[in-house]
């Protein structure tokens, strides 16, 4: 996607610097900053402290972190310790472990002399795969939007509601929930997107920044406004991303997603989740019982970051001094509240049968492991 007319991805390998560059998302939407990651500690901090965020982007970043480690020390011991270090940075997003396991499985079968280059090549492959996966998610989601648009009179826009940021800056490019929006807009379908602010961290502002850069009509709303809009017939479809999806179709996403699904069900509005297949955790059946929910720092609730009237980026406290906080970062939406899952292979019902039909090889492998 483009920023001020210049095409960017959320991360890219700079051959001249021989290092990974990322967009440091802590400063968006107020300031666009690029960061170079030079050490394994840089990679771990970038993931843990949300310089990069979004399950697919976290996975790609971790793969490049593994490549850096293998180029410095390709021993089995360093491979194991790097896997452990990076895996501990974010417990909920499954793409992190998926990418690290994919790297480890390849590298353990290679001589140490080949591991550095092989790890970097694999990181490039993971990044490019993510771009293509999200592009195809967009094409399948486009069909759903086209169906709604066909029922509209006089060119009225399709009204979508989304939660958090599942955009191109949460992936390597295109995004998950936003990819159908970009494809629909580029196809000439009128859209209007209701963008939840998504506290804490106000990640809806990132979605608003993305959509504005692409020329897509949108309105930034409070998290609590979505149900009201649905009650008054102002939402045609809800579409979100997910950080982990169980094999029965439960989705774990940014805190507040469950409430949107409840409101959508009560108002008979379709609730779709866009996900790349690496986000499916085939080892987990029941998301409520088995997915660890990340508890994050109190400051994400007690403080907010914004731009002051004189243009400075500042952080302000909004709670009384000493007020205790609780900050679960994710919630689980049970599969019965999900209308369908939009994957790179098509749209399916949120169930083990639906996912197995699209990904029979994964289902078979899971069955073999359980057997």
Residues 49 and 45: their CA atoms lie apart, in Å, by 6
Which structure tokens are listed for 173? 């490019």
Which structure tokens are listed for 112? 């140490």
H/E element, 316: strand 313-317
Which structure tokens are listed for 237? 């479809």
Residues 43 and 45: their CA atoms lie apart, in Å, by 5
Q: Which of 236, 243, 250, 281 is catalytic?
A: 243
Residues 341 and 281: their CA atoms lie apart, in Å, by 14
Residues 259 and 339: their CA atoms lie apart, in Å, by 15
Residues 310 and 314: their CA atoms lie apart, in Å, by 11
Per DSSP, what are the bridge partners of residue 219? 194
Return the DSSP state at 5: T
How far apart are the two ends of the chain, measured CA to CA in Å?
45
* CA dihedral over 166, 168, 171, 175, signed as positive or negative: positive
Residues 129 and 102: their CA atoms lie apart, in Å, by 13
Can you tell me whether residue 12 is helix, strand or coil?
Answer: strand
Check: CB of residue 40 under 8 Å from CB of residue 68: yes
Other beta carbons within 10 angstroms of residue 14's beta carbon come to 11
Which structure tokens are listed for 100? 């690290």
- Annotation marks residue 243 as catalytic: yes
Which residues are known to be catalytic?
243
């Amino acid at each position: 996607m483009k920023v001020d007319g210049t095409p960017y991805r959320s991360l890219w390998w700079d051959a001249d610097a021989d290092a990974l560059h990322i967009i440091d998302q802590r400063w968006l939407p107020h300031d666009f900053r690029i960061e170079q990651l030079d050490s394994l500690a840089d990679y771990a901090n970038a993931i843990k402290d949300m310089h990069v965020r979004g399950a697919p982007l976290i996975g790609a970043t971790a793969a490049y972190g593994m490549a850096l480690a293998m180029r410095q020390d390709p021993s089995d011991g360093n491979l194991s310790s790097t896997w452990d270090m990076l895996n501990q940075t974010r417990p909920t997003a499954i793409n992190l472990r998926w990418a690290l396991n994919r790297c480890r499985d390849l590298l353990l079968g290679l001589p140490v002399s080949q591991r550095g280059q092989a790890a970097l090549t694999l990181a490039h492959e993971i990044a490019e795969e993510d771009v293509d996966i999200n592009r195809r998610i967009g094409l399948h989601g486009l069909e759903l939007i086209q169906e709604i648009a066909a029922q509209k009179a006089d060119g009225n826009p399709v009204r979508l509601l989304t939660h958090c940021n599942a955009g191109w800056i949460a992936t390597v490019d295109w995004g998950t929930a936003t990819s159908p929006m970009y494809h629909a807009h580029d196809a000439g379908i009128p859209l209007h997107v209701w963008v939840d602010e998504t506290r804490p961290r106000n990640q809806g502002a990132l979605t608003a920044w993305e959509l504005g850069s692409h020329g897509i009509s949108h309105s930034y709303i409070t998290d609590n406004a979505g149900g009201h809009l649905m009650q008054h017939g102002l939402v045609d479809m809800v579409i979100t991303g997910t950080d982990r999806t169980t094999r029965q179709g439960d989705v774990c996403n940014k805190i507040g997603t469950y409430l949107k699904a409840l409101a959508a069900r009560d108002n008979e509005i379709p609730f779709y989740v866009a996900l790349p297949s690496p986000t499916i955790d085939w080892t987990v059946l029941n998301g409520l019982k088995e997915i660890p929910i990340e508890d994050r720092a109190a400051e994400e609730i007690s403080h907010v970051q914004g731009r002051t009237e004189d243009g400075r980026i500042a952080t302000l406290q909004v709670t009384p001094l000493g007020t205790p906080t609780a900050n679960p970062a994710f919630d689980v939406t049970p599969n019965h509240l999900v209308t369908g899952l939009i994957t790179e292979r098509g749209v399916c019902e949120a169930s083990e049968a639906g996912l197995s039909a699209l990904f029979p090889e994964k289902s078979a492998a899971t069955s073999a492991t359980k057997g």
